[in-house]
């Protein structure tokens, strides 16, 4: 158990931080973030899985930044996708598109609403431009999409169920 805690301390601390932000009004001294003072965070916490929240999630990601959630030393599409899902809710599925014909190998978000796939979101996009097809054009072919959400639940942790 001690080895597990020592090895995963950064992830545990980060998830604890996220849970505190998500579930409580708690001022974090190191960042100055108080979720009760930020109406965007309060709204996202109280209204998960709403399709109209996609631009707001992107605004919050730009405002607070994206952490290196998988601890690989870089912030990339993996971290953006996981963080997007944590902010949006469980209807945001983590998708990989690996297309050998175009060289695309990218992680992004697919939004489900009322049981239907309705939108592929580039989590590194902007609040006004986030459609996978619009951003990636012909390189993006949805036939190569694969849902890998279950492979990342260890990073998403307790926020996965919202």
**pLDDT-based confidence at residue 23 (cuts at 50, 70, 90):** very low
Residue 102 near residue 141, CB atoms below 8 Å = yes
Q: How far apart are CA 120 and CA 110, in angstroms?
A: 4
Q: How far apart are CA 25 and CA 9, in angstroms?
A: 23
In order, the DSSP letters of 110-127 are: EEEETTEEEEEEEEEEET
Q: What is the DSSP letter of 102?
A: T
pLDDT of residue 125: 96
In the chain, domain spans: 2-156
- φ, ψ of residue 99 to 5 degrees: the values are -110, 105
* b/e 49-59 (16+ beta carbons within 10 angstroms → b): ebeebbebbbe
3 state SS of 145: strand
pTM value? 0.75
pLDDT, one tens digit per residue, over 80-101 is 999 999 899 999 999 999 999 9
- The predicted model gives 150-158 an average pLDDT of 71
């Amino acid at each position: 158990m001690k080895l597990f805690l020592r090895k995963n301390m950064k992830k545990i601390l980060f998830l604890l931080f996220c849970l505190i932000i998500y579930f409580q009004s708690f001022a974090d001294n190191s960042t100055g973030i108080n979720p009760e003072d930020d109406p965007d965070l309060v709204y996202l916490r109280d209204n998960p899985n709403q399709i109209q929240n996609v631009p707001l999630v992107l605004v919050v990601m730009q405002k607070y930044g994206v952490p290196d959630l998988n601890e690989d030393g870089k912030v990339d599409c993996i971290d953006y996708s996981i963080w997007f899902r944590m902010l949006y809710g469980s209807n945001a599925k983590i998708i990989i598109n690996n297309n050998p014909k175009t060289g695309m190998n990218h992680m992004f978000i697919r939004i489900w609403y009322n049981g239907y796939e309705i939108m592929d979101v580039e989590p590194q996009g902007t609040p006004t431009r986030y459609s996978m097809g619009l951003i990636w054009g012909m390189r993006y072919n949805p036939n190569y999409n694969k849902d890998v959400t279950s492979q990342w639940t260890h990073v998403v942790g307790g926020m996965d169920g919202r």
